[in-house]
Amino acid sequence: MKVFIPRNDIKRKVKELAEKISSEYENGLVVIGVLKGAFVFMADFVRQLTCPVYIDFIKVSSYKGKETTGEINLELSCSIDLKGKDVLVVEDIVDTGITLSFIKEFLAEKDPKSLKVCCFLDKPERRKVDFIPDYVGFTIPNRFVVGYGLDCSEEYRSLPYIATLD
Ligand code: 5GP
């Protein structure tokens, strides 16, 4: 295991994202975290936002160990009424794009005023569907990463940095 994105770079990036997003949502927003991987990034991110913020979560399953199955199941839906609200989905990483395409389609049916996605990490080389996140922390090459919420078979989520696992 090797440190790939150190703690201080993460702190700087989260602050930068929160400043940008706070200035674009001065009237407030609903932040929906994708469980489980987004929980660490989301906790750091929302505490840096300066606009009013409402918190919710969604949970889907698709990943088994290192390989995605391509099939998405909704395990937990959000409970806030999203109709007419500005909604931002917060995710740990976008890889094939399948998960977030599914989530965006699902949430769009709830009639929000706006619906955007913020991903901490993006691996554009791996895309299988056409999906572009609105905000990205770091664009990374095709490597399997863990830490800062991201797991490998439920291990490593609590690492305070991003590491590669080869
Ligand atoms: P997608 O549907 O975009 O292929 O996959 C999104 C999900 O796959 C992420 O939420 C994450 O759980 C998992 N994933 C994709 N790449 C990685 C990676 O490099 N490391 C870890 N730990 N999970 C990944």
The domain limits of the chain are 2-164
Nearest residue to 158 via CA among 9, 3, 40, 15:
40
CATH code, 2-164: 3.40.50.2020
Instruction: Please give the pLDDT value at position 65.
Output: 52
Residue 81 — φ and ψ, nearest 5°?
A: -75, 120
Amino acid code (one letter) for 119: C
What is the CA(149)–ligand 1 centre distance, in A?
11
Stretches where the chain sits below pLDDT 50 are none
Which positions ≥6 away from 120 have C-beta within 8 Å? 38, 41, 90, 91, 92, 93, 136, 137, 138, 148, 149
Question: How does 5-26 read in b/e, with b if 16+ C-beta sit within 10 Å?
Answer: beeeebeebbeebbeebeeebe
**What pLDDT does 113 receive?**
98
Instruction: Output Rg (C-alpha) for the chain, integer angstroms.
Output: 15
Q: Which atom of ligand 1 is nearest to the CA of 68?
A: 4
* Ligand 1 pocket, CB under 6 A: 37, 62-63, 68, 91-99, 144-146, 150-152
Q: Which amino acid is at 80?
A: I
Put simply, whether the predicted model's pTM sits higher than 0.85 gets the answer: yes
Q: Name the pairing type of β-strands 114-122 and 86-94.
A: parallel
